[in-house]
Structure 1
Amino acid sequence: MIFFCKNHVHPCLLCLGIVVLVAISGCVEEKKQPESTCLACHEAMADSSHQMSCTVCHQGNAESSEIAEAHVNLIAQPAHPDNIATICAECHREQADSLPRSLHYTQKNLVNLVRKSFGAKEDIPNLLEIPIIENPEIPLELSEDLLRRRCLRCHLFSSGDEYSATKHGTGCAACHLNYQDGELSSHAFSATPQDTACLSCHYGNRVGFDYYGRFEHDFNHEYRTPYSAADFTDRPYGVDYHDLAADVHQRRGMLCVDCHGAELMTGYSSDLPNTMSNPEAKTCSSCHEKTLLEMELPSGVTPTPDGYSFTSKSGSSHALPVMKNRAHEIYQEVSCQVCHAQWSFNDTGTNLLRSDLDDYYSWDRLTVQGSKEVETLLEHNLDYDKDELPPEMSDKITGDMRLGIWYKGFVMRRWEEPLLGRADDGTIQVVRPKLDISLSWIDEDEEVHFDSIPSLAPNQGKVPYTPHTTGPAGIYYEQRLRDFLRSEEASQDSK
């Protein structure tokens, strides 16, 4: 049985697996217990793989009908990373052991990308190792305060921002329990995470949102078109968005996990590992190049009299096109998205200011910040009938409050034809100005410690990026390449 309270939803009320729904009958049989007094307050929901007493995962005292006694030593979040090794690992040992190596757990790529762009010489292994710095003395320390208190709202130790579409469980529950309108909707474990779970972290102008053709509005309400006569809209992702062309795979009914499978959660170092030894790991070529398909069929792909078909984990099935255009042979050192991306995020001049001042009037038209914490504080303190809250912001890893609010703004937010650049291996790829950022800090005495300190990242902060806006290459793909090669040649000649 799986339970949730009629009057209050407790997060993560089951022993969760991490990647796949494994019916470990022996484990379940061992842990089956008679129905307990939990049912007096909690409503049962079916999950065939977790037919066991509540106390197996949640501990507590199932023999007492008194709430205080029943909840002694209760573990409210058994799927939280702090509890996985002792709770989930009882039945899901392999997944639990591999989770701390996964990018979803460590966030090391994002964390070290930002730290290096502000002077870090060495990587740290995971987000938990980011130093806590209250009074930064160098740009690196300021960037680390930014990471802990503004950026890292989405990770397995956090239940997400407080918007209706961005709430999720922690640990295993982040992907495998379903939330709706900011509340846990079911304790039934889902082996295949739905896209709503992915989008609870991959929203805003980040990979994932573009898969659905979404581009976040500006923060200033004057630019949030179309205008609405309503006094309030839910803004499920914090900021409203424009509806652009969605990725062709999304329009065909494919889920995120059709391409980004189990390898994301089991310790692989890349979000799309290029290895055919793992049938869950897919690249564009592994599904669309005939010679690779003849060697090994990725999961979901089956041969047909006319070629191949692909069946999504959503249940949808459709013909799988195989590369035939001669351009694929000519341009072998060109990323697929160089020709096939329909549009790309290009937000330039991202400015981040830590302000320890209790001056909020300057932000009257920018209360929407893509952060519920900042938005709530601004709206509260701009209401002069309310007692003012201190200019503090929480550490998104420990939850501790510290002085200073991190505000965000942009020089320009736009979508356009993808920008091109060279990756470290020389291939031509789509790039975006992801590290075109600057940091500032003014303390409570109005002393400016840092004033628009720019990132040290080369090439105006442009880094390789894979837009999830795939579509037909069209008739101008070669022109896109020629324009890039000409500009590259002209740049070299001018040196």
Structure 2
Amino acid sequence: MKKKQLTYFTLSGVIFLIGSFVIIDSFVLKKEIVSIPVSEEKCLTCHTDMGDPSPFHPIAAYGCVMCHLGNASTDDKDDAHEEMLVNPSDLNHADLTCGKCHNDILHNVRNSIMTNNAGLVASTLYQWDERISPDDTSLHINELPDTSLATSHMRKLCAGCHVNKLENDLPGETGTRGGGCNDCHLVKAGTEGKHSTFSVQMDIPVCEKCHNRSDRVGLTYQGKFESEGYGTPYEHGNTSSMELSNGRYFYQITPDIHYEAGMVCIDCHIAEDVMGDGKKYTHLELAVHIKCEDCHQMKTARPPADNIVWRMIEVNSNLQLSPDSTFAKTERNSFYANVFMEDEDVVLIRKLDGQKLIIPQNKNRPECQMPGHEKMSCQACHSAYTPQCYGCHDVYDPTKKQLDKVSYEETYGHWSEGRSYLRFEKPTLGIDNLGRIIPFAPGCQVYMTELDDDLQIKQQKTWLTMAPYDPHSTRKNVATCIDCHGSIKRFGLGEGNVQFKDGLFTTQQIYDAPSSGLGNFSLETMIDENGEIPQKMSRKTARPFSLDEIKKIYRVSLCITCHDSYKDKIYKDFDRSIEYFKSKKNKACQNYFSHSR
């Protein structure tokens, strides 16, 4: 199936709205320029009782042609529908439609990582040893050549999840994605003959339709733990009703605390996060403007009159705020449309229902400011668990065909995938590309098998990668001190037990990796007891803790039993405290500190 090419002759590219007249001076549909009053458009003689797309797009003011093109001066169906656009928001021709009024947003969306998937593409090529760096803003998922195993894999398994894929092109969840602006803003009409509507009040399912695989943040936020796929526990002789897309199932566990407060994704993520800010970014975390501190250590300012935040307020009836309001501001000088000062309180308005929430402020907390915690992200302590999908087994069969989601053609080369196991457990911690201590998870751990034409193994490759990210499992009750300082999994040494003597670590891991056939280390291991790093990191400068850093983290665990308060004076200068304990020959501490190096 090939995408239809539309041909237009662009003149001034200007749309004038004069009373009830819309003069379109921007295209020729192989005929003369159409310029008629909206009141004389003949579309509604057939399409009766359509309804307005939104309060801000009334048909009486804008008509039909401004968005859908076509020829509204005739009541002949074929002539009227010639080169008409069913979906005006497709980014391939949005200059002629949505971009006439929203040109700045269109520019941002086209450059956004939600459209080009540059981070996904670059990271995959880097992981599969086809690039020396995971950082490249020039890449675009729709422009990938089918020239290698890595690009074939992405075109067939990964290209179904970006803003500008064709909508309704495939069955199931994949077909609900894409379509340009419609991908997020369209609410389909429930009645035949009615016009679908536009909304800026997107509920969680709009985001979840894409963000339910890989890092699974759309699931984790709601407390959905993807199970191993057996459909248990069975219900009345059938599989579980707690079902995800593509035959997957989930268990309900504790959700993110913000979800419990009735907040949806757009209550935190601002316009620049989702639609972009016009710049091209190598990775998602660089494109996101917001931070926890924006709300919980809020700094306010009054946005400039031309800032997009005022448009966000205008089009959401739940956000009718005073022009004199001061709003939460990010480090990049972007603003939250729904977080502001009200009297002495920091208030968030939920965008879907207008409910106000008071945001607790978290300033000068000793556990956040104490020496050694300077680089700790909020997620390092407040993430209750992390979805961890270990071992992605990809098999390439050259004898079968599979849909290429870029060319929309069935081509030879079929990918099938499975996994070793899935866990929702405490996260491994490491240092991300921004220098923060943050949770890590598999991203991805590929065991690739390429078959030949006789279905014999041609080659096998293993590319194991760990990735930093925010799990979206935030809870108020955090991990205890010993949960981090006494856990070798948190250190990155893998799940198990540890002994430390004469300056050396000896670990005993729970998972018997050699017997599993998956390698010589457990799959959560980011660094081993000898200081070797057995996996790649998905970011060039991200890394596990070094052994020296792990020793410093671990030695605190021996003091926590007695010194269990952040305010304890021994933590003000911990190195000095250790020297003090050594000099006093304190037996309780001597077992460790006499051997430390």
The amino acid that maps onto 2:357 is H
Structure 2 residue identity aligned to 1:103: I
Give per-residue Cα distances to partners, 1:320-379, cap 9 Å, x unaligned.
11115311112221111111111111110111112244xxxxxxxxxxxxxxxxxxxxxx
Which residue, 159, 172, 175 being the options, matches 2:181?
172
Tell me the CA shift for residue 244 of structure 1: 1.9
1:66-465 residue pairs with structure 2 within 5 A?
Answer: 67-119=77-129, 120-121=131-132, 123=136, 124-133=138-147, 141-158=148-165, 159=167, 162-163=171-172, 167-179=176-188, 187-205=196-214, 206-219=216-229, 223-228=230-235, 229-230=237-238, 235=243, 237-238=245-246, 239-263=248-272, 264-266=274-276, 267-268=278-279, 269=281, 271=284, 281-289=289-297, 292=299, 297-298=327-328, 299=336, 300-304=338-342, 307-314=345-352, 315-324=354-363, 325-330=365-370, 331-357=373-399, 391-451=400-460, 453-455=461-463, 460-465=464-469
TM-score scaled to structure 2, two decimals?
Answer: 0.63
Q: Is the 8 A contact 2:42 2:75 kept in 1?
A: no
In the alignment, residue 214 of structure 1 is paired with which amino acid? K
From the CA coordinates, give the structure whose radius of gyration is larger.
Answer: 2
Does the 8 Å CA contact 1:393/1:402 hold for their aligned counterparts?
A: yes
> Would the aligned equivalents of 1:179 and 1:185 in 2 still touch at CA under 8 Å?
no
Distance 1:416 1:448, change over 3 A: same
Match in the other structure for 1:381: none
Q: What CA distance in whole angstroms lies between the structure 2 residues aligned with 1:184 and 1:199?
A: 28
Task: Answer whether contact 1:178 1:185 (CA < 8 A) is retained.
Answer: no
| In structure 2, distance between residues paired with 1:422 and 1:37 | 59
DSSP-derived class of the 1:318 partner: strand
Read off the aligned partner of 1:410 and give its amino acid letter. Answer: R
Conserved 8 A contact 1:163-1:235: no
Which residues of structure 2 form unaligned runs of 5+? 1-15, 24-37, 303-325, 329-335, 494-503, 506-526, 532-597
User: Is the Cα–Cα contact under 8 Å of residues 43 and 64 in structure 2 kept in the other structure?
Assistant: no
The CA distance in 1 between the partners of 2:252 and 2:175, in whole Å, is 19
Paired AA for residue 313 in structure 1:
K
Q: Displacement, 1:230?
A: 4.1
Deviation (angstroms), 1:98: 2.3
Q: Which has the higher strand share?
A: 2
Q: CA RMSD in A?
A: 3.3
SS of residue matched to 1:434: strand
User: Number of residues paired by the alignment?
Assistant: 417
Counterpart code for 1:131: P
2-structure distance, mates of 1:343, 1:111: 27
After the TM superposition, which of the residue ranges 156-165 and 322-331 deviates more from structure 2?
156-165
Other structure's SS at 2:93 match:
helix
The residue that corresponds to 2:22 in the other structure is 30
Distance 1:273 1:426 in 2: 13
Cα distance change of structure 1 residues 191 and 233 upon mapping to structure 2, 3 Å threshold = same
Contact map agreement 2:188 2:196 (CA 8 A) in 1? no
Q: In percent, how many aligned pairs have the same letter?
A: 23
Three-state SS of the structure 2 residue aligned to 1:209 is helix
The separation in 2 between residues aligned to 1:27 and 1:96, in whole angstroms, is 26
CA contact (8 A) 1:163 1:236 kept: no
How far did 1:79 drift? 1.0
Alpha-carbon distance change, 212 to 100 in structure 1, aligned in 2, over 3 angstroms: same
1:53 shift after superposition: 2.6
In the TM superposition, what is the alpha-carbon distance from 1:203 to its structure 2 partner? 1.6
SS in 2 for 1:80: coil
For residues 461 and 446 of structure 1, the distance between their equivalents in structure 2, rounded to whole angstroms, comes to: 28
Cα separation, partners in 2 of 1:406 and 1:101, compared to 1, 3 Å: same
1:469 and 2:473 correspond: yes
